[in-house]
Amino acid sequence: MNQTTQNLPATDKNLEAMRQFAEQYAKRTGTYFCADLGVTAVVIEGLAKHKEDLGSPLCPCRHYEDKAAEAKAAYWNCPCVPMRERKECHCMLFLTPDNDFAGDQQQITFEQIRATTNPA
């Protein structure tokens, strides 16, 4: 990972791509974003940054010894295997309706994400 880009926000292009993916995936799977959309915003930003830095939307909510190797292995690339197989999202991005933290939203705006992750 390039040290000069490590702490910069995700590009608009990647952030918008991950936002659209998250909305479409939530609708397709019948899952919902966290009741606290700040959680949703931070996770989408993390996915977008990993897409930029690693070439894959590696789960931003886990610790990895070697992020590049994990991204290449694809197990934790969003949607990760536990999400695809059992609807278990460690990041709380995609929550089943019976989850205590699930909200009622399957949409979030680009502006909501930026306001949370990159306040002026």
- pLDDT for the residue numbered 5: 54
- Is 7 a member of any domain? no
Burial class (CB in 10 A: 0-12, 13-18, 19+), 15: buried
Q: Looking at 59, 61, 80, 91, which residue is catalytic? A: 61
C-alpha 85/C-alpha 13 separation (Å) is 29
- Is 24 a member of any domain? no
Per-residue pLDDT reduced to its tens digit, 45-84: 999 999 999 999 999 999 999 999 999 999 999 999 999 9
Separation in Å, CA 98 to CA 24, 31, 78, 102, 106: 20, 10, 21, 7, 15
- pLDDT for the residue numbered 61: 96
Structure tokens that stand for 1 in this block = 């990972």
Distance of alpha carbon 114 from its chain centroid, rounded?
14
61 is catalytic: yes
**What confidence category does residue 1 fall into, taking pLDDT thresholds of 50, 70 and 90?**
very low
- Is 42 a member of any domain? yes
CATH classification at residue 41: 3.90.460.10
Range of the domain at 88: 34-97
Please state the domain count of the chain. Answer: 1
**What confidence category does residue 12 fall into, taking pLDDT thresholds of 50, 70 and 90?**
very high
- Is 26 a member of any domain? no
- Is 91 a member of any domain? yes
- Is 104 a member of any domain? no
- pLDDT for the residue numbered 119: 73
